Structure 1
Amino acid sequence: MDNSTISDSTIFSDMSLEELLVMLCTNRTNMTFTECLEKEQVLTILGIPPLVVLPTLAVTLLIVAYIIVFVLALIGNSLVVIVITRRRSMRTVINMFIFSLAISDLLIVLLCVPFTLVDTLTIDWVLGPFLCKALNYIAMVAIVESTLTLLVIALERHHAICYPLRARMIKNPRKALYVVGVLWFLSMCLVSPLLVVTQVIEHHDTLADVVVLRTYRFCEEQWTKKTHKQNFTLFLVVLLYVIPLTTMVVLYLRIANQLWVRKAVTPGDMPRSKASSACSLRYKKKATKMLIIVVVLFASSWLPYHIVNVFRDFTHLLDSGHNRLMLAIVQLVGFSNSFNNPIVYVFLNENFKRNFLRTLTFNRRRQMLKGKKGAKTGSTNIFPPYNVATNL
């Protein structure tokens, strides 16, 4: 029987479902009539793609990779939050923004990583309409907020190092927290359309527009026009990713020129000895390296995600096993940025490194000191007076 004949909707409309199934599954020598139905051969013959099921090896590797990202990011960013909130010496202007980055990463880790894995491994969307809206919205808010925070850090560092005679942009940690609050509010407003357009959509595979053969659900954006979705995607990518990162590159190039080429010394360093000024410059360089690496890791981690998003919105991306695996991988690469920052802090910032170790051993030391009345507590001041790696 010719497939073109089978696909003729006129013939389908004149047949009952039982007659159609008999026609499709009779005279197939390689299986019984029951096996034909059980293995969805009817859908295959009709040209309806089978439900996407990833290979076992791919599923195993994805589960292991997502668990590793989840555990590392949860531990690392929790330590960042604990260290900054517990240690008064760590509450500097820059560290308030680092605190905000850690909160963004924790939101992604707790709310996006596990549910994205579930969505990838299941045949259709099983998490309901609320999580469909909330997860996509929170993920994009965290990404946008991180970008804006990194941009503000670059602006503050550029102003402080390249224009040392001018007043500081953000004078104290309290004002830095106000700026953080504004950035979160702005991020939530900018991506608020996602709360409206993100919906759970049911898709039906039908036979001659009469018989429903299969129903499954997708969590996706439903815009009135496709061009609206494309414009919103370009807005997020260009105005909230490309332009901020380009600005950061220019700012950090100017900072690098000031510190490495000109080796400029700020007025606050002048009364000090030559050794103290050199030490101050060295710590400023190290802190700047840390911030540059944070920006580079953020940009490179989320770049594949933005590229795939643009490609998906401007072309038709089928829900095939290959494409689903690709989406899972680019999302995983983006999520991996959540544990990059704490690792960078440990290697390039002595304050964070020492406080991380102190936090990890806090309970054991507390038990050792318990009951020792009048024990010395002066050891909490473990930073040399010239260590200004985060307080620049």
Structure 2
Amino acid sequence: MTVNTFATAPERVSSPASATSAHTISGLSAAEPPRDYAYLLDPLIFRHLSNVERNQLSLVPLSSHLHTLATHCSTALASTAVTDAHNIFPLWTIRLICFSLISAQTTAFAAQEIKVFGDLTSNFYRNPSFIHAVPWDLRVLAIRLQALGFNDWRRCLEHFYMLAKEARSEAIKQRHSPGEFKLWRDRLLDLGLRVAAALIEISDLDGAERHLKSLMEEKDEVDSGIGFRLREAVLYMQLGQLDTARKCYLANGASEGEDVDTVIEGLRLLATDDFEGAAVLWKKLVDSESEGERRTIYLINMAVALLYLRRMPEVQATSNFRMQSTMDRQLAYSYKSLSFNIVTLQTLLDFEYEPLSLDIRQQLQVLNDEMAGVLKKREQAAHA
């Protein structure tokens, strides 16, 4: 694939019902010979941070943890069989997600690495039954990364709409199977939010607003489990519509007694790069709260602002906050203030990873346990 060359997907596409099925991962039928994916395993593909940059990651243990996991994945890929699609694509997914979460620099690395896949809408990645060889999560992630890598946002939007068409078609097919229907409905809503985010990235604010309003028409079918309202609130904040963002935040489930207006203002300051003002505001919120999840969420946002101001010692000096001993736990505990994509790491363990190295499994399990513990605690509190 060249910079501006993308093929058109066939009309008769049919995606598997589950992203974790064997057919989703391998894309092989019984009569089809294994495909050669050697071009995805070349060690020269993978980018590396310098020693100085890696040392800087140690200031934020979660970022260091993610970088270690991404490195393990590239190492494992270099020794994976060229026909082992069952492990090749999950390893790529983990690496790209981790790089997307660490920093803008590693996101740029991911945008360059994903180019090796070429056009994921082409028939090359489909078997004779039109089953796609690449897992859904990787297909979705690749769209934005390739847009960054090739600087082609028009095709980014086109490919999101192509996936949305596929998800809508599958949802209709599975309408009598509640679990499968919900899976495809969630995917469709997720794509809708990603389209809005892409429109904002290319400064088409009017288009993003119209698109978000069209999504609101389906609000009765929204599943809060995928964080739809919270993500929607962030997008409206980027559009400068704080009242609408506030409504979305409340719809997501604000805590009793929470100062929603101040929280929204703090997020607005972060979104507009006013880190000085944001740090002061989040510090005020931190000081107003006793120990608990809400204080932790405020604390992490304050830490983000201070990190951008290069005032890390102030974060470390904050009461009951020690970077090396509690940063990972605090970040997991305050998952609402992290990128929504980190939740995707939970789903990665759904794959059968027996052939993967022990190090990778352990790294994944640590992240999964952190997130699962938080979600379980919130579920118990909701039913108390």
Q: TM-score, normalised by structure 1?
A: 0.30
Greater fraction strand:
1
Q: Which has the larger radius of gyration?
A: 1
Structure with more contact order per residue of length (Cα contacts < 8 Å, sep ≥ 6):
1
